[in-house]
Amino acid sequence: MDRDQELRQKAQQEVEKYQVIVTSDPYRPTYHIAPPVGLINDPNGWIQWNGIYHLFYQWMPFGTEHGAKFWGHLSSTNLVDWKQEPIALTPSEWFDKDGCYSGSAISHDDQLHLFYTGNVKTNGVRETYQCLATSKDGIHFDKKGVLIELPNGFTAHFRDPKVWNDDSKFYMVIGAQKEDNTGSVVWYESEDLQDWEYKGILADGFGYMWECPDFFLLDGQYVLLFSPQGLRAEGINNRNVYQSGYVIGKWNDHFTFGEFSELDRGFEFYAPQTTLDEKGRRLLFGWMGVPDQKEEYHPTKKHHWIHQLTLPRELELKDGKIYQKPVEELVELRDELIVHELGPITKTIPRASEILLDEITSEKGYITIFDYATIDFDKKNRTIKLTRPAFDNGEKEERVGIVEKDLNDIRIFLDHSSFEIFINGGELVFTSRMFASFYHSTLEVQAQGQLSLWSLRQKF
């Protein structure tokens, strides 16, 4: 048995060993993607290929801490029902033995190509390689080895290749740390996906490391999406340990861009990745977690799993700002319309629910979920504040966002231990975990407006 087969077998044994305890956790989501066991983090290789959506993800099957990552794999025809596929990549070779780190997917010559970072550590010294694996069926992948080694001027924090094609050429961006310990994104160019020419630094300017870059056109403008590390908190901004956000600019070999904007205002959101689907939509998945941010206090760890991914979201650019909205297919999750009446209201609701409060007329109001999380709004100040107890000490912590114009609607997806909040059709988004007591099941809405609430079907 070779190393790859050995790792696959051991991972499957972990899934089987802990399947009952994982699935019996009352915090286990019913329609969000979570690991079959162990830890999940960055979405990878997100693509629609031959009509099927393929979503890969960073996976540590042997515990709930970070380590030598695998690539897990899911597929879907409708963005609602997901099928667990065989493991795509294992850390089995000399160039990825300490982790098949994040990367992306692209279709070429009727094959699916996965580009990823091979992580190697020897006596505490890191090495990093940009690697390729290909597949003819989208299920079984053949590793082709190292295509790009570390260029001069950078530390070994050089990872997360995102590849795309344009005008018969292929391009790649990679998150990097320069030798002066500042963050950047570099770019490469190729004619054939095999030989890559280093073109230089695409963007830099703040932080000590930029992870998970994604570069694309959105409504005619270039967007660089990335996760910078090392930003200082400033007022309501940059309140998490690490951020995820974007800049908008112009690109003609040189990328000039404006101010950095956070993509999500919640407590747990990181490492988003997008793809362009066959309908022409720019679709995003994110990780519902943040590295080094109180992961050790998640109560799901005792059930041998931690973290989950966001719902798929469609991106639009309006007035220089990215809007995110749940993909339209998610209406298929709706089971029963439980509430359709004017607020205020107090009601017992299911742990998997969709809530919509629109036509809001109150100047101020709030929504409290399970006596745990509260969403306060103030129309005059155009502020929305999310408050919850901290995982480590239970003290109240908050995140705040500001809408450009009047507050019109609040849409919330609840799923046992998470919620995603979409304000004004996705102008603001708050993504967070939620570990509310199971003795509490009440939704309280203190606001004037039309309230609709659906129970949602179990998908996992």
Q: Distance between CA atoms of 410 and 428, rounded to whole angstroms?
A: 10
Q: Distance between CA atoms of 157 and 121, rounded to whole angstroms?
A: 12
Nearest to 118 by CA among 128, 103, 132: 128
Active-site positions?
42
Question: In this structure, are residues 418 and 353 in contact, taking their beta carbons and an 8 Å threshold?
Answer: no
Nearest to 356 by CA among 422, 434, 430, 264: 422
Which tokens go with 104?
A: 């992306």
Buried b / exposed e along 365-381 (16+ C-beta atoms within 10 A): bbbbbbeebbbbbbbee
Q: Distance between CA atoms of 440 and 451, rounded to whole angstroms?
A: 20
Q: Distance between CA atoms of 236 and 257, rounded to whole angstroms?
A: 22
Q: Is 425 helix (H, G, I), strand (E, B) or coil?
A: helix
Q: Distance between CA atoms of 68 and 58, rounded to whole angstroms?
A: 10
Q: Distance between CA atoms of 170 and 227, rounded to whole angstroms?
A: 23
Which tokens go with 350?
A: 């299911």
CA atoms within 13 Å, Cβ hemisphere of 236: 15
